[in-house]
């Protein structure tokens, strides 16, 4: 792009854009985050050449962790082809010569994502980097960071539980839709980034390391592999994921690949009717491919 003509010509920018001191600091913060699961490690987030809130926290993690031989995938809303995902991926390609990118979840060693955890279960050799706009789940009950730090230290989440309880009293339902507060390893409660509730259970005892980067709020935290991740709930009001059943109680299917066990995006077709489709486009493509090859064999 015109914004960065130097990278192709000369060595105007360092590998991974950031200078080495910045990358080292981020890697140190990552180590601390892994050592204390769920704890928000402050770091001196650098300004990136794209908007704060567009994934600069995730990008700083990605750029600090990336090395030669890495295969990177970037997702936004489940899609590799959305404008922001394309933009971030192109920036990584531009500033990390020699690194390859992919849209296939299975092939990627490093996945940076906004709003989704891929449907396909991740493996121990993969790292998932989630972009985070609001790192602290307590912000809804306490605006002061100084006070929130004490509450986290004491694992005092009573006000958060009261909020959930008030929801039940008022609406007969917990109204938190995404960013569902999740307790990690029995202590710190994290904001698991704006992933839908659908994705939260997949953090629990996951095989892959999940890292969270909040660039604007300058925090890094982690859910290490094989670590407990429990969404806050009550014994009589359990945690529930999004419901994709139709009026008759049948699970809706993706209009494209027919999948009935993935998170679906809902939209209106030109004819005005409601259509559902997998939000994870790589998952959808893969299902479609398998379906077509099966059909091919049958024919």
Partner 1 sequence: MSYVAIKGGGRAIAGAAAVTEYLRTEEGLGNPDAEPLEIDAILHQLRHLVDRVVSEGGVYHPQFAALAVKQSLGDTLEAAFALRAWRSTRPRLSATPPLDTSRMRLIRRISSAFKEIPGGQMLGPTPDYALRLLRLELMDESPEAFRAVARDWLENCREAQLPDSYPKVLDALRAEGLLPPVAKTRRQTAFDITREPLVFPVPRSAALATMARAETGSLLAIAYSNMRGYGDVHPTVAELRVGYLPVLLPHPVTGELAEAGEVLMTECEVVAMYAAAEPGGKPQFTVGYGACFGHNEVKAISMAILDRALQKGMQDGPANPSEDPEFVLLHVDGVDSMGFASHYKMPHYVTFQSDLDRLRTTQQKSGEPA
Q: Which parts of 236-295 interact with partner 1 (CB under 8 A)? A: 242-243, 255, 263-267, 269-270, 275, 277, 279, 281
Size of the site for partner 1 (CB under 8 A): 73
Interface with partner 1 in residues 22-41 (CB under 8 A): 22, 25
Tell me whether residue 93 or residue 230 sits nearer to partner 1 (CB atom). 93
Asked if 257 is an active-site residue, the reply is: yes
Q: Can you read off the two tokens belonging to residue 200?
A: 């939260």
Measured from the CB atom, is 50 or 161 closer to partner 1? 50
Indicate whether 115 belongs to the interface with partner 1 (CB under 8 A). Answer: yes
Per annotation, catalytic residue among 57, 58, 254, 259: 254
Pick between residue 225 and residue 291 the one whose CB is nearest to partner 1: 291
**CB of residue 263 to partner 1, shortest distance in Å:** 7
Would you count residue 77 as binding partner 1 (CB under 8 A)?
Answer: yes
Give whichever of 42 and 225 is closer to partner 1, judged by the CB atom.
42
Residue 50 CB, shortest distance to partner 1, in Å, is 8
State the nearest-atom distance from the C-beta of 16 to partner 1, in Å. Answer: 10
Q: How far is the CB of 99 from partner 1 (least distance, A)?
A: 18
**Could you give the 3-state DSSP secondary structure of residue 2?**
coil
> Residues 32, 120, 178, 228: which binds partner 1 (CB under 8 A)?
178
Q: In the set 21, 69, 169, 236, which binds partner 1 (CB under 8 A)? A: 21
Please state the φ and ψ torsions of residue 160, each to the nearest 5 degrees.
Answer: -70, -40
135: three-class secondary structure by DSSP: coil
Within a 10 A sphere around the Cβ of 230, how many other Cβ atoms? 17
Residue 284 annotated among the catalytic residues of the structure:
yes
Task: Check residue 177 for interaction with partner 1 (CB under 8 A).
Answer: yes
Residue among 28, 90, 36 at smallest CA distance from 65: 28
| The binder of partner 1 chosen from 172, 236, 296, 299 (CB under 8 A) | 172
Q: Rule CB under 8 A: is residue 53 a binding residue for partner 1?
A: yes
Residue 58 interacts with partner 1 (CB under 8 A): yes or no: no
Q: Answer yes or no: 254 catalytic.
A: yes
- Asked if 52 is part of the footprint of partner 1 (rule: CB under 8 A), the reply reads yes
Cβ proximity to partner 1: between 122 and 284 the closer is 284
47 binds partner 1 (CB under 8 A): yes
Cα 234–173–235 angle (5° rounding)? Answer: 15
Give one DSSP letter per residue of 51-89, joined into a string.
-TTSSHHHHHHHHHH--TT-EEEEEETTBSSSHHHHHHH
DSSP state of 40: -
Q: Can 96 be counted among the known catalytic residues?
A: no
Choose, from 16, 38, 78, 215, the residue flagged as catalytic.
Answer: 38
Q: In what order do the strands lie in the sheet with 182-184?
A: 189-190, 182-184, 229-231
**Closest CB to partner 1 among residues 47, 154:** 47
> Could you tell me if residue 259 is left (phi over 0), alpha (psi between -120 and 50 degrees) or otherwise beta?
beta
- Tokens for 279, please give them: 């939000």
In contact, 18 and 63? CB cutoff 8 Å:
yes
Q: How many CB atoms lie within 10 A of CB 146?
A: 7
Token output for 269? 């077709």
Helix (H, G, I), strand (E, B) or coil at 127: strand
Is 259 tagged catalytic?
no
> In angstroms, rounded to a whole number, what is the distance separating the alpha carbons of residues 39 and 201?
19
Q: Catalytic positions, please?
A: 38, 254, 257, 278, 284
């Amino acid at each position: 792009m015109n914004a960065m003509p130097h990278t192709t010509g000369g060595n105007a920018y360092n590998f991974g854009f950031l200078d080495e001191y910045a990358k080292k600091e981020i890697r140190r913060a990552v180590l601390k985050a892994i050592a204390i699961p769920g704890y928000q490690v402050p770091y001196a987030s650098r300004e990136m050449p794209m908007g704060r809130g567009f994934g600069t926290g995730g990008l700083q993690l990605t750029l600090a962790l990336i090395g030669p031989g890495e295969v990177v995938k970037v997702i936004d809303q489940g899609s590799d082809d959305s404008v922001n995902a394309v933009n971030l991926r192109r920036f990584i390609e531009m500033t990390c010569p020699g690194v390859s990118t992919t849209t296939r979840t299975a092939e990627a060693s490093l996945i940076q994502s906004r709003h989704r955890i891929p449907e396909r279960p991740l493996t121990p050799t993969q790292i998932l980097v989630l972009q985070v706009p609001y790192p602290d789940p307590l912000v809804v009950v306490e605006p002061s960071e100084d006070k929130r730090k004490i509450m986290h230290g004491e694992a005092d989440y009573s006000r958060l539980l009261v909020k959930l309880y008030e929801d039940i009293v008022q609406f007969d339902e917990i109204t938190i839709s995404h960013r569902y507060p999740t307790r990690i390893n029995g202590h710190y409660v994290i904001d698991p980034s704006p992933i839908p509730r659908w994705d939260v259970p997949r953090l629990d005892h996951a095989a892959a390391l999940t890292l969270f980067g909040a660039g604007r709020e300058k925090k890094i935290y982690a859910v290490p592999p094989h670590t407990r991740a429990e969404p806050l709930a009550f014994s009589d009001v359990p945690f529930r994921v999004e419901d994709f059943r139709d009026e008759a109680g049948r699970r809706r299917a993706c209009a494209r690949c027919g999948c009935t066990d993935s998170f679906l995006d809902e939209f209106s077709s030109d004819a005005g009717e409601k259509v559902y489709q997998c939000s994870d486009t790589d998952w959808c493509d893969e299902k479609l491919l398998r379906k077509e090859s099966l059909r091919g064999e049958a024919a």
